[in-house]
Amino acid sequence: MASNTQNTQTAGGVLYIAATPIGNLEDITLRCLRILQEVDLIAAEDTRHTRKLLTHYTIHTPLISYYREKEAERSTELVRRLLKGESIALVSDAGTPAISDPGAVLVRKAREAGITIVPLPGPSALITALSAAGITDPSFLFLGFAPSKKSQRRTLLTSLCNNSSSLIFYESPRRIKSLLTDIFNIMGDRQAFWGRELTKTYEDLQQGPVSSLLQQASQHTSKGEFVLIIEPAEQLQAEGENLLDLLCWYRDNTSMSLKDVSRKLASDLALSRSKVYQEALEIYKNKQH
C-alpha cells in the first residue's frame, strides 16, 4: 500500500491525482510510476486506454472505471474504499485529471470525508502549449472547451472581447474551424497560436493571425487535438486632454461597453462614477453608426 508521509491527521487511505502523458509515453514522472505501482487501485477515465500505459511500464495494479457519466455514483464508492484504508490513484486519458476531465467530484467528496489528497504534477496540454507559445505577458484565462452550440459560443466570445489576458481553449479537429471563424468574426484578426498533437510524432506548433490559422485549418483535414491560444487585442493608447475627449476616443476606438468605459475613466481620473456615466450617456448617444 502506498504510504502518506505528509499528513497523519486524516482518515483512511490516500487519493493521488496522477498526471499521465498527453501523447508521448515517456512523459511521466518517476514518482507517478512508483505510485501507480504501489496503490491498491487505479481509477481511470477509460480503463482500456490506461491499460496500454500500464502494460508499457509493466504495472499490474487493478483498474476501475471512473468516467464523467458515472462520477457521482463512482465517487461515493471510491470514498467508501478510501475510508476503509485503500489508496487510490485517479488518472484520466490524457494529462492532469480534473482539468477538462472527470475528477473534481471525487476530489471534493474525498476532502469532505477527511481523506488525504496528493496531487502528482505532470503533463497538461494547456501548460505544454503555453510554454511553447512565446507569450511574454503572464496572464491567461483557461476556458476548456468552448460551447458546441453556436449561439452559446458566440455569447461567450463576445463577453471575452475586452479581456486583457490570453485566452486558452481546448478544441477537437471537428470544431476547430467553427471556433476560429467565430473568433475572427467577433474578436478580429488577433495573434494566435495552436499546439496540435503535442508530444506526438506529428506535433504541430503554429503562430500567426487567426486568419492564417483558419486558412491552415481549412486546407487539410485537421487531424489531432488542439490547444488554441488567442492573444489579447492590441492595446491602443487612449488620446484626449479631458473627460469628454477621452469618452469620444473610447467610443470611436474600442468595443468597450459604456459601463466599462465609465468605470475605467472614473478610476483613471479619480472622478465620481455616476458623473462619468452621465457624461458617457450623452457622448454615446451621438455615436455615428
Residues of this chain that bind ligand SAM (CB under 6 A): 22-23, 92, 94-96, 99-101, 124-126, 170-172, 195-200, 225-227
Burial tier of 282 (Cβ tally within 10 Å: 0-12, 13-18, 19+): exposed
CA angle 139, 165, 150 (to 5 degrees): 135
> Considering the complex, what minimum distance in angstroms separates the CB of residue 155 from ligand SAM?
21
Least separation in angstroms between residue 268's CB and ligand SAM is: 38
Nearest to 210 by CA among 250, 167, 151, 252: 167
**Closest distance between ligand SAM and the C-beta of residue 245, in Å?**
45
Select 93 or 279, whichever has its Cβ closest to ligand SAM: 93
**Distance separating alpha carbons of residues 67 and 45, to the nearest angstrom:** 5
Q: Which of 237, 173, 241 is nearest to 202 (CA)?
A: 173
By beta-carbon proximity to ligand SAM, the closer residue of 12 and 195 is 195
Nearer to ligand SAM, 92 or 262 (CB): 92
Instruction: State the residue number with the nearest CB to ligand SAM.
Output: 95
State the pairing for strand pair 191-196/204-209: antiparallel
Q: How far is the CB of 85 from ligand SAM (least distance, A)?
A: 28
Nearer to ligand SAM, 75 or 96 (CB): 96
Report the residue number, 200 or 251, with the smaller CB distance to ligand SAM.
200
Minimum separation from the CB atom of position 15 to ligand SAM (A)? 17
DSSP 8-class letter at 109: H
Burial of 60 (0-12, 13-18, 19+ CB in 10 A): exposed
Which residue, 4 or 128, is less far from ligand SAM as judged by CB?
Answer: 128
Beta carbons of 107 and 137 less than 8 angstroms apart: no
Instruction: Give the integer Cα–Cα distance in Å for 208 and 217.
Output: 13
Q: In angstroms, what is the minimal distance from the CB of 272 to ligand SAM?
A: 46
